[in-house]
Structure 1
Amino acid sequence: MPTTKHQVQLEHAVSKGERVEIDWTHKESLRAGTLLCDDHGPVLRAVGFHLEPGEPERPGRALRLFAAQRDLTPGLWEGLHVERRGWSVAWVTLSDKGARGERIDTAGPLVGEMLGEHLDVSLTMGYLLPDDQSSLQLLLMDLAWGQGVDLIVTTGGTGVAPRDVAPDATLRVIEKRLPGMERAMTSESLAKTPHAMISRAVAGTLGLSLIINLPGSPKAVRECLGVVLPALRHTLEKLHGDPSDCGGA
C-alpha cells in the first residue's frame, strides 16, 4: 500500500526542539509522539493537540503542536510521511500541596524515569493536579482521546481519604478494567506493609491508551510500577492490535 504523503506550512523558521502550532487538516490522526519524516529523517514530532474555538465569521480549527526535530526553514514542507517510533507516556501527580507549590513532586518524575528505562519511549509529558476528580477525568480523556498518549500513569489519591479520588476518576472513563495488574500491585505492596489493604488503585484501558493508578510515595511507586513493568510493552502492543499469540513469556 502506498505511503500517504502530507504537507505542512511553516510561517517562520523553527529551531531544533522549538515547538510550533500547525493547522492539521489531514484525515490521518496523529497520536502523541508520532513523527513526520522526509527522505532525510524526522522533521516534526507531534507533542500536543487542541481545538481553537470558532467565531461567527470563522470556523474553529484543529491545531496540532509539534516539536521540531531539526532546524527548519519557513515555507511549505511536502512529501512528509508518518512514522511511529516508541511509546508516548504521561504521568499525572495528584497532590493538593504539590499543586499549591507547598511540596516538591518526586513521584511523577520517578514514573517517567522508570518507564524510560524499561520502554522505548518517544515522548514523556508530566502534569501536577490538585486532588480533584473532575479535573482528573477531563485530563485522562484529553490525554487518551485528544492527545493520543499510549500510557498514562497517575500517582497519589488511591486510598480512602476524602480527597483520594484517582480510582473514582479512572473508573468513570476506562472501558476495560485490568484486575490482574491491580492484584499484582496490591500483592507486591502487601509484602511490605498491611496498609496496602486500603489501596483502591485501578488499571484499565481507554481507547488505545493504558491507564494505571499508583500510590503517591516514591517508595510505593517503585514497588507497584516495578511489578507491572514487565507486562507493559506486551499490553500496549496487544492494545494497538498485535495479532501474535499471548502464550510466550
Structure 2
Amino acid sequence: MTETSVPIGVVTVSDRASRGLYEDKGGPGIVAALSELVASPWHPVARVIADERALIAETLIALADAERCPLILTTGGTGPAPRDVTPEATEAVSDKLMPGFGELMRAVSLKAVPTAILSRQTAGIRGCSLIVNLPGKPSAIRECLDAVMPAIPYCIDLIGGPRLETNPAHCIAFRPKGA
C-alpha cells in the first residue's frame, strides 16, 4: 500500500461467514475482480459482517465517513429472504439512490439465470462515496462489476472522489471529453 493508494470498501454480508461457519468467497471475489479492473493504486478495506440492518448501515457509514472510501462494494444480502437487508441498509445511509446500477446488474444477470429477477441490488451515494450492492456468488460479482465498472470512475469524479483509472485490457471507463 502506498501513500496515494485509494481505499476501497469491500463488505461481505453473511451470517455464516461472519461466524466463521462458511468461507467468505464474495469479498475475495470482489478483490480479485478489482485487481484486474482497476489500474490506479488501491487497497481493500475489508469487513465480514452479519446480516443485521443496523450493523450493515454502521459499517457503510464508517467506510464512507471515517475510512474515506470513494467506492464501497457489498456482497450478499440482496435476495428476497427475510434476513436479506443490505439494500435497505444502503438506502438508509445514502444521500441519493442510483437505481441504474441495480437495473443494469439485473439485466446482465438475467442473461445467465432466470432467478436474477429476485435480486434487489442497488447503489447509492453517501457524501463522496459510491456504495454498490453486488450479488454473493463470485462469478455473478465479476459479471456485474464488468457491467457497471465503466461508469464507476466518472461517478466518483462527479461526487468529489479521487480519480480512479481502469485497466484498459479489462475495462474502459467512460468519461466525457475533457473530464
What's the CA shift string for 1:16-37, capped at 9, x where partnerless? x8xxxxxxxxxxxxxxx8x3xx
Higher relative contact order (CA 8 A, sep 6+): 2
Partner of 2:114: 194
Larger CA deviation: 225-234 vs 135-144 = 225-234
Partner of 1:97: 16
Deviation at 1:116, TM superposition (A): 2.6
Quick one: distance in 1 between partners of 2:47 and 2:28? 10
Q: Is the 8 A contact 2:15 2:49 kept in 1?
A: yes
Q: Is the 8 A contact 1:88 1:121 kept in 2?
A: no
SS at match of 1:212: strand
Partner of 2:31: 112
Q: Is the 8 A contact 2:8 2:70 kept in 1?
A: yes
Higher helix share: 2
Quick one: distance in 2 between partners of 1:121 and 1:239? 20
Distance 1:121 1:205, change over 3 A: farther
Q: Which residue of 123, 131, 134 corresponds with 2:54? A: 134
TM-score in terms of structure 2 length: 0.85
User: Is 1:177 matched with 2:109?
Assistant: no
Q: Which residue of 126, 132, 151 corresponds with 1:212? A: 132
Partner of 1:158: 78
Distance 1:241 1:94, change over 3 A: closer
Structure 1 runs of 4+ off > 6 angstroms? none
Structure label with greater radius of gyration: 1
Structure 1 segments unaligned to the other structure (5+ residues): 1-16, 18-32, 36-84
Quick one: distance in 2 between partners of 1:121 and 1:159? 32
Quick one: distance in 2 between partners of 1:228 and 1:179? 12
SS at match of 2:142: helix
Q: Is the 8 A contact 1:115 1:121 kept in 2?
A: no
Deviation at 1:87, TM superposition (A): 2.7
Q: Is the 8 A contact 1:109 1:126 kept in 2?
A: no
Distance 1:241 1:91, change over 3 A: closer
Quick one: distance in 1 between partners of 2:161 and 2:8? 18
Deviation at 1:198, TM superposition (A): 1.4
What's the CA shift string for 1:95-154, capped at 9, x where partnerless? 111111111111101111212322213321111111111101001111111111111000
Quick one: distance in 1 between partners of 2:7 and 2:152? 12
Quick one: distance in 2 between partners of 1:133 and 1:239? 25
Q: Which amino acid letter does the alignment assign opposite residue 32 of structure 2?
A: E
Quick one: distance in 1 between partners of 2:117 and 2:153? 28
Deviation at 1:241, TM superposition (A): 6.9
Quick one: distance in 2 between partners of 1:141 and 1:122? 20
Q: How many residue pairs are counted as aligned between the two chains?
A: 165
